[in-house]
Structure 1
């Protein structure tokens, strides 16, 4: 059995933190830190462990944040790294807002050894002018980790992170940063830019469609891949402008048949989708084929969820097959009833079929 994720923050990590902090500041009370950090640690889950270790830092670092910032930077330079830096980042985000210049210096060092994507977000909210000016400089930083932080830390809807509601409402302050990083040499950075644009697409699809109009013509293969990944939510939704930008917005010309087997399943089983596409004529058609499962809800209504299918060019009849598992997951509760599956071709419903689920 795999080691539980939460155990990445354990007694050995606490001992290492204690040692490196004491070396950075000989007056550091290592014994007290370890006592506070280990008290109840094993009973906590991952994020709670990080917050718990931050509380231990609060109980042992000096109250003067400028001094604490110097200690933390020295400890990072001395080898403090990886998951031990999550509580350090939390400490900086809690106590550095009164000294944002010094705090951002610590996060610059921290992110090169872990990530400061969660810790920087309060500074974007509380000190937007200073923080965005800093991010604008960091787009040219030699470290790919710092450049990624520019994009990842300012994502409006970062998983596990504080939502940046002003940027959800108006994401335009981040667009110059994304434009500067869009053709970055690092896959790591470009993936973050794509995810950031996909965040924006959830609230402002027209901005991403405008972005494609501007940046897709004549794009390199790497940029095209980034833009396609950035558009994944809108492609799933069948956004006409976005599909059109990729040459896949035209209505399918031909016949599509969707068959399901078996037609009755129990929770934990799979249903097989068989698709037969018969184009009208021999002219090649560029197609994005997804499918929407309309899950039954507790009140008897349904809620659709789109799943990726196939992307292909079609000039002759073709059969496709896909198995769809209906298994318990933490993010969805299933209910018995008739579930409809719709076949989406270039964003339009072209066929549908039903299956019955018993939970």
Structure 2
């Protein structure tokens, strides 16, 4: 069982039960569902543990959002009410708040917004970004209207939640179709945060726009370019983060917005060997010269076309350097690429191809044969 799975263990759940018992009404003083969950989480993956504890909380309070709202509100007075136990709490709050909001009339609207208010208050204890998806899936417009106000919150964790929780490709989170279909939906949020004083928030904003670029590159380029016309000292770095996928893809508009251009004379790639064994490194050399008449900036990457089990090779772009060169100036670059297997990439022995990419344009081509690790060796 991995370490991550143990973040929500029996002790964490039992402490949560004690906290809720101390602040619940007498009619729910036992919290038997949480007691059972404390014994049942062992041996399960983290996400399943969170779901199990969430379901236990919902079972213990029935359909009563008001009861859970009151218990969580009171528990927030305890400094120790924080950490990984908060994740299933946010999920239970979201489920009951959205469920309660399905009722008609003003009461349903109040329940929805009370649930979002608990997201705001809980997120400094542990990010509520995953639970926020429940609200977005139920009513994206109402959720975004509320979340937009968080951009002015004094707490950087709340401001980050506004951006992070509404990302279209938030890692490990449920997909929200509206975020893909309507790229303009969250623009008021990132527009309100791109000059935030907190790097923690700005990194999220950069990732948010980078997510947009995957399906809507035009929107991402327009947003980042607009920010660069009204920047502060942190804006260029934020936009570079937002454009990183576009730069790797060779998007000329993104490259131009970041100041890349000019004429490059490129030598390479030169490899230190023609065969490499799984688990070894490959050395890649290149020379880039400014062949233009003015000073220019170059984004230099290399592309490895990995062999797949079947079908065409899959290209993957890796960064080498960003260069600013005077006319006629050249720079030799050296990079090492590991061919050790990872949890995210399966390596298949056979021919691989390496190319250079400068300001989005491909240069040169070199082939290398990947061989399986020798018998008895561990890659």
Q: 1:178 to 1:34 in 2, by over 3 A?
A: closer
Report the equivalent of 2:9: 10
CA drift at 1:275: 1.1
Q: 1:58 to 1:216 in 2, by over 3 A?
A: same
Alignment of 1:189-204 (within 5 A): 189-204=201-216
44-53 or 176-185, which moves further after superposition? 44-53
CA drift at 1:129: 3.2
Report the equivalent of 1:141: 153
Alignment of 1:248-259 (within 5 A): 248-252=260-264, 254-259=265-270
Q: 1:129 to 1:170 in 2, by over 3 A?
A: closer
Report the equivalent of 2:325: 314
Alignment of 1:46-195 (within 5 A): 46-79=46-79, 80-97=81-98, 98=100, 99-195=111-207
> How big is each residue's C-alpha offset from its partner over 1:313-332, in whole Å with a ceiling of 9 and x where there is no partner?
12323211111001111222
Separation in structure 1 between the aligned mates of residue 268 and residue 223 of structure 2, nearest angstrom: 35
CA drift at 1:115: 0.9
Q: 1:300 to 1:176 in 2, by over 3 A?
A: closer
Report the equivalent of 2:370: 357
CA drift at 1:48: 1.5
Separation in structure 1 between the aligned mates of residue 268 and residue 141 of structure 2, nearest angstrom: 55
Instruction: Kindly tell me the number of residue pairs found equivalent between the two proteins.
Output: 357
Report the equivalent of 1:212: 224
> How big is each residue's C-alpha offset from its partner over 1:160-190, in whole Å with a ceiling of 9 and x where there is no partner?
1111111112110110111111111111111
Q: Confirm or deny: 8 A CA contact 1:265 1:355 kept in the other structure.
A: yes
Q: 1:143 to 1:281 in 2, by over 3 A?
A: closer
CA drift at 1:280: 3.0
Give unmatched runs, 5+ long, in structure 1: none
CA drift at 1:121: 1.3
CA drift at 1:199: 0.4
Q: SS at 1:321's partner residue? A: strand
206-215 or 275-284, which moves further after superposition? 275-284
Q: Confirm or deny: 8 A CA contact 2:217 2:246 kept in the other structure.
A: yes
TM-score calculated relative to the size of structure 2: 0.89
Give unmatched runs, 5+ long, in structure 2: 101-110, 373-379
Report the equivalent of 1:227: 239
**Which of 248, 271, 295 is the aligned partner of 1:284?**
295
Separation in structure 1 between the aligned mates of residue 146 and residue 272 of structure 2, nearest angstrom: 56
Separation in structure 1 between the aligned mates of residue 295 and residue 154 of structure 2, nearest angstrom: 45
Q: SS at 2:268's partner residue? A: strand
Q: Confirm or deny: 8 A CA contact 1:181 1:189 kept in the other structure.
A: yes
CA drift at 1:283: 4.2
Q: 1:255 to 1:148 in 2, by over 3 A?
A: closer
Q: CA RMSD in A?
A: 1.9
TM-score calculated relative to the size of structure 1: 0.94
